[in-house]
Structure 1
């Protein structure tokens, strides 16, 4: 099997969905920090909000955004995924950042990140959630946006040098600047410019990190009340993902059908294949059994979560982040066409299947 012969498009503009998704993800750590501070004083919450706004609207705006192509190309207002509609109060400055600008940006960011720590260390649960939420934000941004962002001056930018040169030659006129080298074909596109024909270990690490944020909040809520029920929950999760899902859902997946003795997908890496692959779409019965298993897994911890509102909020937010992220960035390029959530266009599926039959 080989990936489709197409490159990945650079994101030359952001949609409303991009802005909603990334501002939602960005608001989570600020909300957690505000909750920790609010337990002591609402006045300090106002100070925290002021520090954050000063950083984003003054320091970052002046010393970072003015060098960004999204800022430079905007007319009147900013049109990026993080600060949509904000007036351009500073003059655009094409070119690299100066050492002074980098230092000021770092010094301006530190108070924003560190300010709530004094209150967070009083509540280890909130501190952990704060760290995890920021880690999730930066990991997701680097994984899905930094590989196609035209802000080449950003230190997190991961666009290959060849793509940058091609974009600069065309002066950013093209909406889809493509780079056909194979090693970039399965990275970074939510518009299915390429299919992800195989997963890597880093995919497994990322998606299991996201999944663990869900399971940890549920397990913690149960474990506070009962060790016995926690063990029952752990057994149910292992049985579902290791046996039930593998038999009634994974066996139909093209990632599973391949000849490895162990699974090599983004959710199950190194797990033994207990069942033979079935190279056809899953039946309604298979999907019903799989759905029932997921419903049980999701609803099982609710009686305990309802006793702890913070853990309930963390649980529901983690599920929402998981679903939004996988829907935006994976379902549009996944080769498991039998999955009911698959969003790969029909013409791309057809082309992929024809190439595989030819090979």
Structure 2
């Protein structure tokens, strides 16, 4: 477990520190369980549709390795803590005095890594992008292959079999698109994990938060980051 305490960032301090903060109600710097459940319920459709499509491809075409690969990716990313290591351990939410993470995305994850107040490294960003991209591309590519394979043997599977797989594939695309829109609109524009490749928080808000959190500010400036003019 990390050696950090809740006092390292204002995210876990008493809310009285928020009274004079101009980021209040703009930045998602305080944990709200409603945000977590909103995120989860919007993530579930994409995972369900991806798994459904991969199961259909496996049962119809006999190609099961994409489903196995998808499950392995999920286990490595979430079960073995790759995402919490490369992404979450840089986040202010990680500084809570708890062995369990509480945030809008991965509440319940064990905090097995130490807190890293600086920004993500290039390798960490690349690792995260590869995993996230693979979770989208693998099921869609497998479903596309399944459509092609079923179409080649249409007399065997029938038109309804082909249309069913096409429908699931379209559903998977829409579910991924819906999830991407939700996280960009409702989370990434106010998330305090500023160095995440998906983060869209305006620079002035990021710099204002760093000014209020000296440990993070020193780590970011040590990495070469320079704060903007507070009057700009």
TM-score between both structures, scaled by the size of structure 1: 0.42
Identify the structure with the greater helix proportion. Answer: 2
Q: 1:79 aligns with which of 102, 121, 131?
A: 102
Between Structure 1 and Structure 2, how many residues are aligned?
A: 168
Q: 2:48 aligns with which of 13, 27, 31?
A: 31
Q: 2:122 aligns with which of 99, 110, 134?
A: 99
- Structure 1 segment 166-185 matched on structure 2, within 5 A: 166-171=208-213
Judging changes above 3 Å, is the alpha-carbon distance between structure 1 residues 37 and 98 closer, same or farther for their aligned structure 2 residues? same
TM-score between both structures, scaled by the size of structure 2: 0.63
Query: 2:89 corresponds to which residue?
Result: 66
2:210 is paired with a residue whose SS is helix
- Structure 1 segment 1-359 matched on structure 2, within 5 A: 8-41=25-58, 45=67, 47-57=69-79, 58-73=81-96, 75-121=98-144, 122=147, 123-171=165-213
Aligned 8 A contact 1:148 1:158 in 2: yes
Residue 54 of structure 1, CA deviation: 1.3
Contiguous gaps of at least 5 residues in structure 2: 1-22, 148-164, 215-232
Judging changes above 3 Å, is the alpha-carbon distance between structure 1 residues 47 and 162 closer, same or farther for their aligned structure 2 residues? closer
How far apart in 1 are the matches of 2:117 and 2:108?
20
Pick the structure with greater CA Rg: 1
Residue 114 of structure 1, CA deviation: 2.2
CA root-mean-square deviation: 2.6
- Pick 1 or 2: higher relative contact order, CA cutoff 8 A, min separation 6: 2
Once the two structures are superposed, residues 127-173 of structure 1 have per-residue CA deviations (whole angstroms, 9 ceiling, x without a partner) of 2221221222122221122222211112222222222222222229x
Aligned 8 A contact 1:19 1:84 in 2: yes
Residue 50 of structure 1, CA deviation: 3.0
Contiguous gaps of at least 5 residues in structure 1: 1-5, 173-359
